Amino acid sequence: MAADETGVLIAGLGPVGAALAALLARRGVKTIVCERETEIYRLPRAAHFDAEIMRLFQQLGIADAMLAHSRPVGGYDFINAAGEMLMQFAAAPETAQGWASGYLFHQPALEALLRDRLTALNVETLTGWALTDFDDDGDGVTATLSDGHATRIIRAAFLIGCDGANSFVRKTLGIALDDYGFDEPWLVVDTVMPDESHLKPHGVQLCDPARPVTIMPMSPGRRRWEFMLLPGETPEEMMAPGKVEALMAPHMGAGNVEIVRRAVYRFHGLVAKDWRRGRVILAGDSAHQTPPFAGQGMCAGLRDAANLAWKLALVVEGKAAMSLLETYQIEREPHARGFIELAIAMGKVVCLQDTEAAAQRDAGMIARHKAGGAATLPPPPGLAAGCLHPSPRAGELAPQFGRFDDGRAESAWLLHRGGAAQADGVEAVDIRGLAQWEAWLGAQPAALIRPDRYVFGTGTPDDLAAAWRRSTGG
Ligand SMILES: Cc1cc2nc3c(=O)[nH]c(=O)nc-3n(C[C@H](O)[C@H](O)[C@H](O)COP(=O)(O)OP(=O)(O)OC[C@H]3O[C@@H](n4cnc5c(N)ncnc54)[C@H](O)[C@@H]3O)c2cc1C
């Protein structure tokens, strides 16, 4: 059988596979995506994404559409069984990324928008086709797909496993998972409510040792409810008719509610030991999974896509050495772990079932909240090592003033004050007269911003251009 040839084959058309395919297609890399299912996954999943991710949606041309499908986060309250505030996170309507600190949304709506983008970008998407086998011979990957009847062979320079938590790609490679040991079963329910004015506009974590509960607004008219299973409770009894209604009743007040989806999940923290073997790479849930308390699982996967897309494009085009791909896990793993550890710390606050320990927790947290007021979530970590030029601001996420990114090249940018050096694939941007950029640069003559909008480094244009050439191996 003749093989179809492509630059990149992506297995899995969840949000991460779809975003990666779109980013690659925008860079002109021939990409095929295969997806085992024929429809978008319907069970309840992500409800929150952050400012950095909205900036990525802006790059993909779907930010305005996502605004219509989401609402900015109003705040995030942790309260005890008596309704007292334990901890409160404030939200910001505007951040250095040019967007609000967070948005609440409905994952299938995002996935539909991403698939529309793939159609517009002419990406070949094979839905109903599962990856069933692959072989990396060092020069490329030969993959076998099946739709249950027929098979197809695809020869790709790289195979990316965006195939989710039970990743076939990860298991086939025999890559082990590092388990944080956090493992809690929760019932997750999505509802549609025509009138939700009687409910808090904030996300709420009810830290009640008798039954921890999460109540989270999603896109307008939608709300997420999560109930922790108590010892001895089974998924079957949580899914039984009338159970969800009984669990929601004490928190609902008046108003109509339609239960649209429900599922029992185990919330856990897992990280794959290796994210790349030769020409086969993992991204998204196949590489790492987090409890959802910080709303960051999909966000981490989309950051993987942003990190990987430009590196893969340079390597496939022969403009960078394979060694550039080594920086992918070096940069992304500590970042993803930072959010997993934050989510587990939040989960340990929420999931406490021992009443005495909960009373002690409450006393300490109430006192701290009274003294300190609302907190802000820690800013996302930067990159500590990888494709960076050691210099001030290296590894930070570059700010966006206004809608600066719109209409700019997908490439790296050299922000300078005149006398810019030429570097292949780098857009020179003269920032003289742009007061916010000049203030941000301070005493530095120039900054090189990577295509994923992390700062490569600061310094003179010549030094930066030379360091970029060395670091990408081009
Ligand atoms: C209850 C809950 C709440 C969450 N809340 C948030 C939140 O608020 N914010 C957030 O950022 N994240 C959240 N998440 C996490 C988020 O939903 C996931 O991180 C995200 O869906 C992962 O995307 P992905 O593309 O990596 O994997 P998936 O979305 O799982 O997609 C993988 C795709 O691969 C396909 N596939 C599998 N095997 C094959 C194969 N062999 N061949 C071809 N295709 C295959 C699957 O059919 C699937 O479509 C939450 C998750 C849960 C469960």
Instruction: Answer yes or no: CATH 3.40.30 is held by domain 387-474.
Output: yes
Domain definitions of the chain by residue range: 4-40+53-69+104-178+271-331, 387-474
Q: Which residues line ligand 1 (CB under 6 A)?
A: 11-17, 34-37, 41, 44-49, 107, 130-131, 162-164, 168, 188, 265, 284-285, 292, 295-299, 301
Each residue's pLDDT, cut to its tens digit, for the chain (474 residues) gives 677 899 999 999 999 999 999 999 999 999 999 999 999 988 778 999 999 999 999 999 999 999 999 999 988 999 999 999 999 988 889 999 999 999 999 899 999 999 999 999 999 999 999 999 999 999 999 999 999 999 999 999 999 999 999 999 999 999 999 999 999 999 999 999 888 888 888 899 999 999 999 999 988 888 999 999 999 999 999 999 889 999 998 887 666 788 998 999 999 999 999 999 999 999 999 999 999 999 999 999 999 999 999 999 999 999 999 999 999 999 999 999 999 999 999 999 999 999 999 999 999 999 999 998 887 777 778 999 999 999 999 999 999 999 999 988 889 999 999 877 777 789 999 999 999 999 999 999 999 999 999 999 999 999 999 999 999 875
Yes or no: say if 191 and 180 are a contact pair by the CB < 8 Å rule. no
C-alpha 285 to ligand 1 mean position (Å): 6
The residue nearest atom 15 of ligand 1, judged by CA position, is: 297
What fold, for 4-40+53-69+104-178+271-331?
FAD/NAD(P)-binding domain (3.50.50)
Mutate to test the pocket of ligand 1, among 20, 162, 298, 377 (most ligand atoms within 8 A of CB): 298
- C-alpha separations of 367 from 212, 239, 284, 351 in Å: 21, 38, 38, 20
User: Residue 186: helix, strand or coil by DSSP?
Assistant: strand
Yes or no: say if 171 and 177 are a contact pair by the CB < 8 Å rule. no
pTM here is: 0.96
Mutate to test the pocket of ligand 1, among 23, 71, 103, 163 (most ligand atoms within 8 A of CB): 163
How far apart CA 285 and CA 303 sit, in angstroms, is 12
Mutate to test the pocket of ligand 1, among 37, 170, 285, 289 (most ligand atoms within 8 A of CB): 285
What H or E segment, with its residue span, contains residue 204?
strand 203-207
Closest atom of ligand 1 to 186 CA is 1
